[in-house]
Structure 1
């Protein structure tokens, strides 16, 4: 049993400590605590104001950069795609503002965007493969030949290509194309607007920003195969996205890691910027000549854009 005197001593010690604190607070250490708190508050306030100023300056510089690039590059793409009919294909979750900006740049370059195709996430859902595979076989046309080594999603890309594009300009949306588009839309694998009358020759695929947390790069294997299929059935494909799409967890990252895909499909990883939208145009011009390149600011093997020689009028 604890001695009662132990409790008395403990209580006395507590009161002594409290009394000492009061005396010191009223004596030589008076105000020290509040001064420290006030000093730290001033430092924090100054740091916050400095950070805010840096943010404002960064935003101003970003706006200056974008405005400057837009003005400097204005006219560089003029007439580069005159007479070309182009289809924009958006991946599930693709940014609508970036897509619209790409659309505007293509139009400014003289191209006609015949339709915009929005792919549904169901198309790349592994649990829906049993729907995609038989549909591909059902929609194949007599004038189509699949490469012997092609897989389901490469063939699916070729099927869609047969509905919306051709290797040459001036092809109409015939009965076979109508059948393909009806089959794909009725199956809820995609939607398109407007319903095209003419088939294009070139395709711009707009990649989505990776979700958080970022998925495994292999998640995009089917999408990359699909883009290859679109290229095989057209005069060329450029896949455009934000810088994040070229990092781990992004479609461009996966595509650039596929040596076969990079031989035929071009990529641009800064399509959210005016300079990147111009690069999409230059990359399409290069595609018409039968070449492909990987452009942008994130591990872009071929630099920021095609050279001036490559980007000369088609």
Structure 2
């Protein structure tokens, strides 16, 4: 009997609720649900329009900044690299547009880009170390003097330097240089375009934007050692990249955390901007004088660029 009464009460309650819903729907709350949905849609639409406007404004300001910098500083680097031969060395995954923009800035400053060396990821693959070590020993020439404490990748950088670079200007690509370039190319560790006739004295290493998820910073230890070796075999090296490359998981972040490397190798973390490309030029000028600095926008120890005094007279 209790169960039957319970069911009767439940059924009555359900019908009462349904009846109340019909009455309210026809009364003062009619349309409330649709109005709430419409109100939220209007808010979302307004937020989207605001975000779109902010994006348009940000792009306009970026364009203004770049155009202003290009016009106001036009000619500021003219002649700074006159008579200098320069190699560009692209790390695996480096942005082609950044590479091209940097090369154009070097040429605008009077430099001659002798070759672009494209590094293959195979060179820095830990699983390929057994290939790199014997190849370094095979390609070493009589005039290469490895520092006593140097490691495999510092030596590999010095080997590449002997193939495409020199501490002095005007050094031709001789038999030893050709042997080195052929050995590294045949091993699929790098490619060159064009084949240089003269060896450069300065080099710009173009870093890639770090992948997602960002790797551990130690991933780039070998690449930093390689840049050190390239510097030891030339008149100077600047490592250039985008801002992300100076954050965790980026090559510049690792470089700047190496106190020994930063004594000899310079870096610029805004090479995707016209002002950053000019900073690469000034950093190279400073390198040619035997000094190094870390420049840019992200934890750059030495500020946005070398001072006028640091590049005066070059």
**TM-score (structure 1 length as normaliser):** 0.98
Equivalence map 1:106-121=2 (5 Å) = 106-121=106-121
How many angstroms apart in 2 are the aligned matches of 1:202 and 1:89? Answer: 11
Once the two structures are TM-superposed, the CA of residue 50 in structure 1 deviates from its matched residue by 1.3
How many angstroms apart in 1 are the aligned matches of 2:272 and 2:39? Answer: 44
**TM-score (structure 2 length as normaliser):** 0.98
2:286 is the alignment partner of 1:269: no
Instruction: Specify the alignment match of 1:47 in structure 2.
Output: 47
How many angstroms apart in 2 are the aligned matches of 1:131 and 1:106? Answer: 34
| Alignment root-mean-square deviation, CA | 1.2
**Secondary structure of 1:49's aligned partner:** helix
**Tell me, which stretches of 5 or more residues in structure 1 are unaligned?**
none
CA spacing shift, 1:13–1:229, aligned 2, 3 Å = same
2:150 is the alignment partner of 1:150: yes
How many angstroms apart in 2 are the aligned matches of 1:148 and 1:282? Answer: 32
**Tell me, which stretches of 5 or more residues in structure 2 are unaligned?**
none
2:27 is the alignment partner of 1:27: yes
Once the two structures are TM-superposed, the CA of residue 7 in structure 1 deviates from its matched residue by 3.1
Instruction: Specify the alignment match of 1:96 in structure 2.
Output: 96
Once the two structures are TM-superposed, the CA of residue 29 in structure 1 deviates from its matched residue by 1.4
2:45 is the alignment partner of 1:57: no
2:8 is the alignment partner of 1:8: yes
2:310 is the alignment partner of 1:310: yes
How many angstroms apart in 2 are the aligned matches of 1:129 and 1:278? Answer: 36
Equivalence map 1:228-267=2 (5 Å) = 228-267=228-267
Instruction: Specify the alignment match of 1:190 in structure 2.
Output: 190
How many angstroms apart in 2 are the aligned matches of 1:25 and 1:167? Answer: 87
How many angstroms apart in 2 are the aligned matches of 1:12 and 1:215? Answer: 65
1:285–1:313: 8 Å Cα contact kept in structure 2? no
